Amino acid sequence: MQNELLKINYSEDSAPTFSGRELHAFLGVDTEYRHWFPRMCEYGFTAGVDFNPVIFERVQMEGNREVARTLEDHMLTIDMAKELCMLQRTDRGKEARQWFLSLEKAWNTPEQVMARALKLADAEIRRLESENTEMRPKARFADAVACAETDIPVGELAKILRGNGVDMGEVRLCEWMRANEYLMQRMGAGWNAPTQKSMELGLFRVTETTTTRADGRVDLNCVTMVTGKGQQYFTNMLLKKEEDEALTKIVFDERTWAQDIIRTQDLGDTPMRALTCVARHYLEIGLGTDAVRERLNALYNKDSQCGFVDISERIFGAAKKRGLLYITSIPVTQRELQTIRGIDGIRRQRLAFALLALAKYQNHAHGENHDWVSFRHKDVFSMANVKVSVNDQYLLLNDLKAMGLLKYNKRVDNLDVRVLYTDHDGAAVMKIHDMRNLGYQYMRSLGGSYLECKACGAVIPRKSPRQMYCPDCAKLENAKRSLAFYHQKIGVPA
C-alpha cells in the first residue's frame, strides 16, 4: 500500500480532511462526481458535520481550446471517507478504507495528540501576542485618559486623538460636537458653549477670565474646557467610531476618487483602499514604480507608527491586479425585480435587492466573479437598510437560500454567497447609481415615500413634503445659513 493514497488536508481545528473528487477518482467510480456525491449524501451525511463544500476553478481542454470551469468539491472527514469506501464494495474501496484506518490509528497516538495540542497552544499564543501588540497603544492611551485630572481645551483633545489614529482636527471635532449636540450651535457669545446635556454629563467645564483694556473697559472671556471624564467619554466614543463605522467603500469611478484624494491629500476612513486606488491611477498614467512609491510615501505621512515601507508591497500587489474601475450604473431588469417582489416579507426583499446590486458590482470589479458576493455581514445589512440581530441575519439569509435564490460557500468572517437570480440578458428597467441605502432605493421603486438628498444624493425616507436634505446634510446646511447670517450681521463680506 502506498504511504499516501490521497492528499491529506487539514481543517481549522487541525483534523485531517480529504477531497471528495480525489477519493472518487481513486475508487474508480463510473458515475460522474456531480451525480455520485449527492447520491452518497442520501445515506445520511450532513453538510458542515461530515463534509464542507468548496468551489474552485479548473482549466481543462475542450476540443482544441482551454476553458476555465467552476467546479464544486467537498472536503470529507475521515469517518465519512471510510463509510464511502465501504459503500463501494470494491477492492479499491477496501484498500482505501484500510489506509484510512491506519491513518486514524496513527492520528490518535499519544505523541500525535500532544503534538496537536502544542501546535494549537502555539497558534493561540501568537494570536494573543499579535492582538496585544495591536491594542497596546490604544490601551495605554485609554488608561492615560482615564486617569486624567487636568481639564484641557477642545483643541488639545483633538491633537491627542489625531496622534492616536482619529483623523480629526480641532475644527472638525467642534463640528462633530455641535452636530451631536454637545456644543451650542447658536452664533454669538454662546458659540461652542457646552449644551445642558453635556454639562449634566460632566463632560465640560467653562472657565471665565477677564481682560482690562487701556480705556478701562473689562472683557469677559469664556473658554470651554474638556474635563477628565469628558476626555475619557469622547476618546472611547471616537476610537470606537473609527473602528466600527468604516464600512466597505464602494466606488463607481475610481479615477475621479484617486484625483480627489491627490487634490485633498485626505485618505479618509479606508487608507489602504485609497492608497491602492491612487497607485492604480499613477501606474495608469505611466509613472514608474519608484516614482509611484515616492508619491504614495508623501501622501501616507500621518502615522509614524506604521511606515509606508511596511505596506507598500501589499498596495502594489493589489494595484497591479486590475486597472481603475469605472461603472456608469448597475442595471436591474424586470425579471429580477419580479423575482424579488415575489419574496415573502419586505426585509427579505430589501436584502435580496442589496445582494443583487452587490453581485453585479463585483461582476464589474472582478471580471470572472460569477455573481458571488463577498462583503462583511454588517455592511450588507447596513446597505440593505435591514436592522436585525446577528441571529436574525443568518435566518434571513437561510430563508433566501431555502427559496433557491442563494448558494453558500463557507468563508470565515465574511458573507460569501452566490446570487442565483441575476438576469444578464434582459433590458434594464432600473439603474443604480449609488450603493448607499440600497434598501431605501428598492422601496422607492415600489412607490414608497422616499427622496434623494439634494446635497449628497443619498435616498432616504421622506418625513415631510418640504424636506430636501438627509439629516446630516440638513445640519450642515443650517450651519451654513447661520454662519452666513452671522457674517452679514457683523458686516463680513460673503
Nearest alpha-carbon partner for 5 in 108, 103, 112, 105: 103
Residue 38, all three cell numbers: 449527492
Strand partners, 431: 331
Looking at the fold, whether 360 and 440 belong to one and the same domain comes out as: yes
Last residue of a domain, one of 267, 296, 319: 319
**Position 237 in a domain:** yes
* Whether 346 and 441 share a structural domain: yes
183: DSSP letter = B
Weakest mean pLDDT among 79-93, 255-269, 422-436: 255-269
User: Quick one: cell of 455?
Assistant: 446635497
Which residue carries 460636537 as its cell? 177
Same domain, yes or no, for 217 and 271?
A: no
Does residue 348 contact residue 356 with C-beta atoms inside 8 Å?
no
Q: What is the mean pLDDT of residues 283-297?
A: 85
Among 244, 267, 286, the domain-final residue is: 244
DSSP at 310: G
For position 309, what pLDDT does the model report?
47
Confidence at residue 295, expressed as pLDDT on a 0 to 100 scale: 84
Tell me, yes or no, whether 477 lies in a domain. Answer: no
Name the band, by pLDDT with cuts 50, 70 and 90, for residue 243. Answer: very low
pLDDT for position 332? 95
Q: Which helix (H) or strand (E) holds 356?
A: helix 346-366
pLDDT band of 381, cuts 50, 70, 90: very high
Side chain identity, residue 383: M
The mean-pLDDT minimum among 209-213, 227-231, 279-283 falls in 209-213
Residues 67-126: tens digit of each pLDDT: 777 788 888 988 898 889 988 889 888 888 888 888 888 777 776 666 666 666 666 556
Which pLDDT score, from 0 to 100, does residue 197 have? Answer: 80
pLDDT of residue 402: 93
Domain termination residue (choose one: 244, 265, 288): 244
Q: What pLDDT is attached to residue 189?
A: 65
Expressed as residue numbers, the domain containing 165 is 152-244
Q: What pLDDT was estimated at residue 149?
A: 53
Which residue is listed with cell 501568537? 126
CB-CB contact of 461 with 440 (8 Å): yes
Residue 31 lies in a domain: yes
Model pLDDT, residue 431? 94
The length of the chain is 494
- Going by the DSSP 8-state scheme, the letter that residue 286 receives in this structure is T
Range in 30-39, 161-170, 447-456 with the lowest mean pLDDT:
161-170
d(CA 458, CA 460): 6
Question: Degrees (nearest 5) of the Cα angle 70, 72, 74?
Answer: 155
Q: Which three-class secondary structure state does DSSP give residue 349? A: helix
Is the pLDDT score of 209 beyond 90?
no
Q: What is the pLDDT of residue 408?
A: 84
Q: Is residue 462 part of a domain?
A: no
Cα 156 to Cα 214: distance, rounded to the nearest angstrom:
31
Q: Which H or E element spans position 223?
A: strand 218-226
* Mean pLDDT rounded to a whole number for the chain: 79
Identity of the amino acid at 446? L
Sign of the Cα torsion 145, 148, 153, 156 reads negative
Task: Identify whether 493 is part of a domain.
Answer: no
pLDDT score for 1: 37
Does residue 15 carry a pLDDT above 90? no
Instruction: Report d(CA 350, CA 341) in Å as an integer.
Output: 9
pLDDT over threshold 60, residue 383: yes
All cell numbers assigned to 8: 491529506
Residue 219 phi, psi dihedral angles, 5° rounding: -100, 135
pLDDT band at 305; cut points 50, 70, 90: very low
Residue 192 region by backbone torsions, left for phi larger than 0, else alpha for psi between -120 and 50, else beta: left
CATH of the domain at 400: 1.10.10
Report the predicted TM-score, pTM, of the whole model to 2 decimal places: 0.50
Together in a domain, 387 and 302: no
Sign of CA dihedral 172, 177, 181, 186: negative
The one-letter code for the residue type at 76 is L
Mean pLDDT for the stretch of residues 306-314: 54
| Inside any domain, residue 471 | no
Mean pLDDT confidence for 340-360? 95
Cross-strand partners of 413: none
Q: How far is CA 34 from CA 10, 392, 404, 453, in A?
A: 23, 33, 18, 50
Strand order in the sheet with 152-153: 152-153, 218-226, 204-212
Residues 233, 259: one domain? no
Sheet holding 415-419, edge to edge: 372-375, 415-419, 406-408
Domain assignment of residue 223, yes or no: yes
What digits encode the pLDDT tens for the residues 160-194?
A: 777 655 667 788 888 888 877 888 877 766 677 88
Both 338 and 438 in a single domain? yes
Q: Cell numbers at residue 204, please?
A: 465640560
| Inside any domain, residue 142 | no
Instruction: Count CB-CB contacts under 10 A for residue 285.
Output: 10
**pLDDT greater than 70 at residue 269:** no
Higher pLDDT, 147 or 403: 403
Residue 226 and residue 157 share a domain? yes
Q: For position 231, what pLDDT does the model report? A: 81
Is there a single domain that holds both residue 340 and residue 435? yes
Q: Strands across the sheet with 16-19, in order? A: 9-10, 16-19, 65-77, 51-62
Give the confidence band of 244 by pLDDT, cuts at 50, 70, 90. very low
pLDDT band (50, 70, 90) for residue 420: very high
Percent share of the chain, pLDDT over 70: 78
More confident residue, 230 or 116: 230
Place of cell 436591474: 332
Residue 328 has pLDDT above 70, yes or no: yes
Note whether 351 and 402 are same-domain residues. yes
Residues 351 and 431 in one domain: yes
Q: Mean of the pLDDT values across residues 271-287?
A: 86
Q: Are 204 and 198 in contact (CB under 8 A)?
A: yes
- Band (pLDDT 50/70/90 cuts) for residue 247 is very low
Average pLDDT over residues 411-433: 83
Quote the pLDDT of residue 246. 40
Report DSSP letters for 244-257, one per residue. Answer: HS-PPP--SBHHHH
Tell me what pLDDT residue 350 has.
95
Gap between the Cα atoms of 184 and 192, Å rounded: 5
**For residue 307, how many C-alpha atoms fall within 13 Å in the half-sphere facing its CB?**
4
pLDDT digits (tens, 9 = 90+) for 38-80: 999 888 888 878 888 888 777 777 777 777 777 888 889 888 9
Q: How confident is the model at residue 276 (pLDDT cuts 50, 70, 90)?
A: confident
Q: Do both 431 and 335 map to the same domain?
A: yes
Cell (9 digits) for 241: 467610531
335 and 442 inside one domain: yes
pLDDT of 301 > 50? The answer is: yes
Q: Count of domains in the chain?
A: 4
